[in-house]
Structure 1
Amino acid sequence: MANCNPSSDKKSDEMATLEVESGSDFIVHVFSSSSELLGKLHEKWSSVKKKPYPAMYSSIFGGIILDPAMMVIPIDDHMVHRGHGVFDTAVILDGYLYELDAHLDRFLRSAAKARISSPFPRSTLRSILVQLTAASQCKEGTLRYWLSAGPGNFLLSPAACPTSAFYAVVIDDTISQCKNGVKVITSTIPMKSTLFATMKNVNYLPNVLAIMEAEDKGSFASIWVDEEGFIAEGPNVNVALITKDKELILPSFDKILSGCTAKRLLELAPKLVEQGCLKSVKTANLTVEEAKGVAEMMYVGSTLPILPIIMWDEQPVGDGKVGDLTMALSDLLWHDMVAGPDTQRLCVPYNN
C-alpha cells in the first residue's frame, strides 16, 4: 500500500534514484508553499550562466516576464492538452526583427483556420512583440509567439474557456549563414493533410517523428512526398531546387505551408535571372524522379535562411557538392536579412 503520509525526512536524489531502480516505492515530495516551489524553480536556473530565454510575454499574466523560472503556461490551456493553438517565428538579427509583418499576417491566417480569436487586435499584438524584444535586450536570436484557445478546463471543446491566450518568448541564439551541405532522406512518416499543413499549428508530432527518423539514419532531416508523388516540404522548412537548365523551382504552396522566407526568396531570386545566372523562377509540382535529377537542392527557412542539400537517400544531389547558385541565393537572402529595406526589417528600440 502506498504511503500517503511521507515523513518529513528528505531523501537525497541518490537515494531516490536507487529506490526507483530497485523497484521500491518512490516517495513524492509535496511542496508546502508557493515560495518553496519558486525556490526550487530558481534552483534549476541558478547554475545557468547565460539564460536562453531572456523575456516572455503572457496575456494570462498581463505583462512581460524576465525571470525564466516564471516562464510557464497553465496546464489546462487547450494548446497544451488538445493542441488547439497556432504559432509563428521571426528572426532577430543585429537588433532588427526580420519580416515581422509577414510572419504576423500568416500567424493570424493560421489562427482564423484554427478558429481561435485573438485577445488583441493585430496592432496590439505587433506592439507587444516589439516591446518584448526590446525588454529582452536580445540582439540576435528568434522571437516565437503562440495564440491558443486558452485555459479553463480539460474538455475537448474550448467553448467554456474564458478567453484565448497570447504567449511570446525571445530565444537568445546564434543566427548565421549556412554554408555546409547536409544529407536528407525521404520520410516514411505520413505528412499532414492540406488543412493542417497550410496552417502553422502546434500539432507537430508528425514533424518530430520525421526528424527523429532522419536522425536515426544519420541524416539532418527529411523530405515529405505527397499522395500524388510530388515533392512537398521538410519537417519545418520549405524545399527549393535548381534544375540542370538553371530553373529555380519551389513546390506549390497549395498543400504545404507558405514559408515567409520561401516567398521572400521568390521575390529576390529574379535578380539572378536579370544577371543571367538563373533561367527562371517559379513554383511548380515536381515528382520524386524529377527532383532527384536536379543540379542543386536546398532547405529554405527563417533561421537558415538557406541550407544546401548535397545527399538525398544516400545518393548525391548533382555533383554532391554545395552549388554556386545555392550560395548565390543564400547571399541574396542573407544580405536582405542583414541590410534589407525598411519594409522588411523593424528596428527594435533598446533601453540603456
Structure 2
Amino acid sequence: MAFLSSLNGPTSKIKFLAKLTDFSSNALSLRRNLAVFESGYKCFGLKVDGKSLWESRVLHNSEQIEEFINVSDVPLLSSSEVFERLKEDREKRKGKQQFLAMYSSVFGGITTDPTTMVIPMDDHMVHRGHGVFDTAAIMDGEGSLRYWLSVGPGDFQLSPSGCKQSALYAIVIQDKTPLGREGVKVWTSTVPIKPPQFATMKSVNYLPNVLSKMEAEEKGGFAAIWLDEDGYIAEGPNMNVAFVTKENGLLMPSFDKILSGCTARRALSLSEGLVREGRISGIRVGNVTMEEGKQACEMMLIGSGILAKVGPVGQALLDLILDDMKFGPTDVRVPVPY
C-alpha cells in the first residue's frame, strides 16, 4: 500500500491498479488488473472480497480535490461548538451513575463538569492499553474513587518512547444502586482466561473480561466464571470468587494465576474472626475443582462489595466488610471529609 507522501507525481499522471466490475446482476468480476491512466474524474465499481461495492474517484488537481472534500456532510467545528455538542451529548446519556469530580495530571487540577472529564486521544492508555487502574469504595458517599496511571500522551506509535510524562487520572463516581442480596446466576466462561503474567495485573486491557461478561448476560446470567488452564476455578470478569463447603469451611482459589483483589484479601483476614467464633470451620486458599464449586453450600463474588445468595456465612462476611469500611483500622481505610 502506498502512502500519499510516497507518490512521485500528480494523481492524474500516476497509474493505479484496479479491478473493474460490471454492476449488472449477471456480471462477473474481471479477474485481471487494469491500469488507470486518465485525467479528471473517473468512477469505477470495485468489488472487495466479493462483498462491498466502492466508488473510486481520480482527481487531477487541487481544486477538484477541494470540491470533493466539501461535499462531505461532516462539519468543521470550532472549540466552543465541540464543547456545546459534548455537553448536549452528555445530557442525553444520564444514567444511574453520576460523575462528581475528575482529577487529571494533564491539566493539573479537578473539574466537576462531566463534559470536561476527558483524556487525550494520543494517551497510550487509550490506543495501546498501556496503563493500570484500581478502585476504592466510598462507603457513606455511596460511590467509588477510580484511578488510572497511564504512560501518558505523546503520539500514536506502539513504543511509549515518545511519551514524555506519565499521567494520573481519578474520578469520583456516585452510584446509588443497592447491593444485591438476592443472589445472581453465573456461567462457566468459554472466553480464554488471560495468562498469569497479565491476569495478576490490573491493567486496562479488559477485552477478555468484557467478552466474558457479555457472554453471561446473553445467557441471562450476571457473570461468567473462568477456569484456569488446568481446569480449576479461577475468578470472575472483575470479581474474585469464594465458596462455603459442606463442612462449613471458606474456600477461595489461589492468587497465583489470578488477580489478588484487595477486598478478597481483606475478606480472608476478617474471616479469621469467624473461625474463632466457630461460625466457619476453617479457611483454605488453593485449587478449587468444578465439583467442589457445584457442591458448595454458598458461593460469593467478591469485588468492591460482595454479591452472595442469602446464606449465613455470606451474610456474615458481607456485614464484616461493610463494618470494616466504616470502622476498620486506618491502614485499610482513609477518612474523606465531604
Larger Rg, first or second structure (1 or 2) = 2
**Deviations along 1:150-188, whole A, 9 cap, x unmatched?**
111111100121111111111111264431111100000
Residue 344 in 1 paired to residue 336 in 2? Answer: no
* 1:307/1:298 CA distance change after superposition, 3 Å: same
Counterpart of 1:35 in structure 2 is 80
Q: Which has the higher contact order (CA 8 A, sep 6+)?
A: 1
- My pick for the range that moved more, 215-224 or 59-68, is 59-68
8 Å Cα contact 1:148/1:165 also seen in 2? yes
Residue 320 (structure 2) aligned to one of 332, 336, 342 = 332
8 Å Cα contact 2:100/2:114 also seen in 1? yes
Cα offset for 1:261? 0.3
**Deviations along 1:120-156, whole A, 9 cap, x unmatched?**
xxxxxxxxxxxxxxxxxxx221100101111111111
* 1:290/1:46 CA distance change after superposition, 3 Å: closer
8 Å Cα contact 1:214/1:222 also seen in 2? yes
8 Å Cα contact 2:249/2:280 also seen in 1? yes
Counterpart of 2:70 in structure 1 is 5
- Using the size of structure 1 for normalisation, the TM-score is 0.73
Counterpart of 1:59 in structure 2 is 105
Distance 1:63 1:51 in 2: 22
Cα offset for 1:3? 4.2
Distance 1:238 1:217 in 2: 21
- My pick for the range that moved more, 73-82 or 329-338, is 329-338
Distance 2:95 2:262 in 1: 34
Residue 199 (structure 2) aligned to one of 194, 197, 200 = 197
8 Å Cα contact 2:148/2:169 also seen in 1? yes
Q: Which amino acid aligns with 1:229?
A: G
* 1:188/1:181 CA distance change after superposition, 3 Å: same
Identical residues among aligned pairs (%): 57
1:58-207 map, 5 Å = 58-94=104-140, 139-174=141-176, 176-207=178-209
Counterpart of 1:300 in structure 2 is 302
Residue 251 (structure 2) aligned to one of 249, 252, 272 = 249
Cα offset for 1:329? 1.3
Distance 2:104 2:289 in 1: 44
Counterpart of 2:19 in structure 1 is none
Q: Which runs of 5+ in 2 are unaligned?
A: 1-56, 58-66
1:213-228 map, 5 Å = 213-228=215-230
Q: Which amino acid aligns with 2:308?
A: P
8 Å Cα contact 1:93/1:175 also seen in 2? no
Distance 1:233 1:45 in 2: 34
Helix, strand or coil: the match of 1:347? coil
Helix, strand or coil: the match of 1:345? coil
Distance 2:252 2:199 in 1: 16
1:12-51 map, 5 Å = 27-31=73-77, 33-46=78-91
Cα offset for 1:49? 9.8
- My pick for the range that moved more, 206-215 or 172-181, is 172-181
Q: Which runs of 5+ in 1 are unaligned?
A: 7-25, 95-138, 310-321
Number of equivalences = 272
Cα offset for 1:332? 1.3
- Using the size of structure 2 for normalisation, the TM-score is 0.76
Distance 2:133 2:96 in 1: 25
Helix, strand or coil: the match of 1:219? coil
* 1:293/1:93 CA distance change after superposition, 3 Å: same
8 Å Cα contact 1:225/1:232 also seen in 2? yes
